[in-house]
Amino acid sequence: MHQSTPRVGIVGAGITGLALTHYLAEAGIDSVALEATDEPGGVITSRVVDGHVLEVGPQRMRKTPGVTALAAAAGVEGDIVEAEDGDLYVYAGGTLGEGPLSLRGFLRTDLLSWRGKARLLAEPLTRPGHPAESVEEVFTRKFGREAYERFAGPLYGGIYGSDPAEMPAAFALEGLLEREQEEGSLLRAFQKRLAGGGTAPPISFERGNQQLPDALAATYSGRVELESPVTNIEPGDSVRGGEDGYRLETPGAGHEVDVAVVTTPASTTAELLGEVAPSTSGLADLRYNPLAMVFMESPYDGAGKGYQVGYGEDLHTLGVTFNHSLFGREGLYTAFLGGMHDPQLVEAGDERLASIATGEFERVTGAPASVVDVARLDPGFPAWDDSWWGLEDLSLPPDLFLATNYTERMGIPSRVREARQLAEQLADRFTDRTPDGAVTGTEQAAADD
Ligand SMILES: Cc1cc2nc3c(=O)[nH]c(=O)nc-3n(C[C@H](O)[C@H](O)[C@H](O)COP(=O)(O)OP(=O)(O)OC[C@H]3O[C@@H](n4cnc5c(N)ncnc54)[C@H](O)[C@@H]3O)c2cc1C
């Protein structure tokens, strides 16, 4: 098939596929996003149960310019809910202690002894972190064992449900080690970040995070096809500028595209690209940590973002998000269980998970809780362990791109940024290739409107 305008085929309509759809439309490049399920958003999944907005995936995103621009393009900027500022706690030694993530928090926290605080302040005198070390080795050597066990380990490992001892710093701390190089010390890098006004505030949407992908898919409905699982990707014949494109197979249809962008989970990507990019086969072995989420209702009036559970505590819970105080979601608390330490727990029945989560929540906060719902995440969180070295040898043929949360950073703002950068790169490439007389980007954008 020969086309007069370049066409990009996107596999998956999670936030990456949808953000890419948006930026390609802005650049006037034709595209189609093929999504396997009947809903856009991928891991961004929100549900309303018994009047509660439940986030069965990311609990929040940061209000970066990219996220705000997407919300505006999709007409949901007015539905953004900004989080209340609040502390993150760690449950250690039988009490909830304030995470020392600010100067005030550092001075006030009783998570660390004065000796532990003094050791932490000696960090600028330690050798820089090395990519060959594990995250545990870097944090322990630089901050001291007490700081590692009482907050740095639980906070960092808790975010991924992973074990810092199993996480090579080379990729698990890549960004942090770069900042350390720039500032000469990790503490100085944190200090600078805090002095600069910190990061963009956490946000959600009135009807939950999924409101953003839902609205994007509706805005670009002509470019998004739901219930269209791609079953195979093979070399195509959409010849343009002398190069072949790809054929994306879906049940009952084939989509010829000039450029294919794959945004699917790692194991699916390995399956889909077996023929055109055999080096991706290692993606099937990337380890993910299974997670269960228990949504609870409680009269507890906790302030702050929530808590992570310190090492050595006799609890299954990894951490709890306070949706109640974060986004004013009346009485709602979300517990995370499972992860690398407790993977088999995720297979337990709903009743067992519910009773563990509510019982442990009462132990930590002193307040009773009842269960609203239970969910399990498949594939869960990237483990960022040794299996991730499988990413080292990836090589892709021309006009095939991965835009994924395992080849680049996983936070939603990073997904949006990667989509924008890829759209810019493709716009440059197509501008170079557009033959005389073909529709230009701007003209196509006008046609889309
Ligand atoms: C539990 C959890 C909590 C998180 N918390 C946060 C947070 O608080 N803040 C934050 O910023 N980030 C968070 N993240 C990270 C962030 O949410 C994800 O990295 C991001 O949403 C991934 O988006 P994506 O589009 O790249 O991938 P996905 O969301 O995985 O989208 C891929 C899409 O491809 C589709 N697909 C799969 N196979 C096929 C096929 N064969 N054909 C067509 N389509 C297919 C899927 O159905 C899916 O819609 C969290 C992630 C998880 C898992």
For the purposes of burial, counting CB atoms within 10 Å of the CB of 434, is it exposed (0-12), middle (13-18) or buried (19 or more)? middle
Sign of CA dihedral 212, 406, 416, 381: positive
Which residues in the chain are classed under CATH 1.10.3110.10? 101-195
Measured in angstroms, how far is the CA atom of residue 347 from the centroid of ligand 1? 22
What's the CA-to-centroid distance between 126 and ligand 1, angstroms? Answer: 37
- Check whether 444 has a pLDDT greater than 90: no
Which residues lie with the beta carbon below 6 Å from any ligand 1 atom? Answer: 11-17, 34-37, 42-44, 57-61, 229-230, 263-265, 268, 377, 381, 404-405, 410-412, 415
- Show Cβ contacts of residue 127 under 8 Å, excluding neighbours closer than 6 positions: 141
Give the Å distance between the CA of 256 and the centre of ligand 1: 25
What is the secondary structure of 261-282 as a DSSP string? EE-S-HHHHHHHTTTT-GGGGG
Q: Within the chain, which residue ranges are assigned CATH 3.90.660.20?
A: 288-382
Q: Is 437 exposed, middle or buried (0-12, 13-18, 19+ CB in 10 A)?
A: exposed
Give the torsion sign (CA, 23, 26, 28, 31). positive
| Class of 7-43+64-74+205-286+388-448 in CATH | alpha beta
Position 436 scores a pLDDT of 45
CATH fit for domain 288-382, picks 3.20.20.150, 3.60.15.10, 3.40.47.10, 3.90.660.20: 3.90.660.20
pLDDT for residue 266: 94
How large is the average pLDDT for residues 278-291? Answer: 91
- Dump pLDDT digits (tens) for 250-260: 999 999 999 99
- Confidence class for position 403, pLDDT limits 50, 70, 90: very high
Contacts of 97 (CB under 8 A, 6+ apart): 89, 90, 91, 109, 110, 111, 150, 151
- Closest Cα partner for 112 from 149, 85, 139? 149
Distance 404 CA to ligand 1 centre (A): 8
Asked whether the beta carbons of 328 and 419 are under 8 A apart, the reply is: no
CA pair distance 182, 174, nearest whole angstrom: 13
Answer yes or no: is pLDDT of 373 > 80. Answer: yes
| Residue carrying the six token digits 């992570």 | 308
Looking at the chain, the domain(s) classified CATH 3.50.50.60 span 7-43+64-74+205-286+388-448
Mutation test residue for ligand 1: of 249, 378, 405, the one with most atoms within 8 Å of CB: 405
Dihedral angle, C-alpha 307, 312, 316, 322, nearest 10 °: 0
3-class DSSP assignment, residue 235: strand
For helices 65-73 and 211-219, angle between their N-to-C axes, nearest 10 degrees = 50
Instruction: Please name every residue paired with 7 in a beta bridge, in sequence order, or none if there are none.
Output: 30
Q: Does domain 101-195 have CATH number 2.40.10.10?
A: no
Distance of alpha carbon 400 from alpha carbon 259, whole angstroms: 6
Helix axes 174-183, 186-195, angle to 10 degrees: 90
pLDDT tens profile 61-105: 999 999 999 999 999 999 999 997 788 898 988 888 888 777 777
pLDDT exceeds cutoff 70 at 220: yes
